[in-house]
Amino acid sequence: MKKVIKWCIALTLTGALAGCQASPPPAGIQEAIATLNRYTPEYVAESNAALEKAGHPDRERLAGIGVRLQAGVEALDRWANGDTQGQEGCGQ
């Protein structure tokens, strides 16, 4: 029984990942992600500068969050545009 469950899980994950690679997001989603990616670097830079200028006690942590957000949006934009080089599956 355990072997059957393991095989079912493996086949389900394989099918899900293959389907994710084969079907790109709708054009509206691609456009929204592209717009977000276009403006995120500016927003992150401005907010990090404001945190620094204000001397916010959590500025380093918050600036790090902004940088990671920017990297995530860039990766999402690459995925939405079909650039899967160096990526494995949908969640990478």
Count of domains for the chain: 1
The pTM of this model reads 0.62
Band of residue 92 on the pLDDT scale cut at 50, 70, 90: very low
In a domain, 53, yes or no: yes
Would you say residue 89 lies in a domain? Answer: no
Reply yes or no on whether the pLDDT at 2 is more than 60: no
pLDDT tens track for 23-77: 788 889 899 999 999 999 999 999 999 999 999 999 999 999 999 999 999 999 9
- Would 20 be classed as within a structural domain? no
- The answer to the question of residue 61 being in a domain is yes
Q: Measured between alpha carbons, how far is residue 92 from residues 38, 40, 62, 72 in Å? A: 21, 20, 24, 10
Residue-range definition of the domain harbouring residue 56: 25-83
What pLDDT sits at residue 15? 60
In this prediction, residue 4 has a pLDDT band, given cuts at 50, 70 and 90, of: low
Task: Tell whether 56 is covered by a domain.
Answer: yes
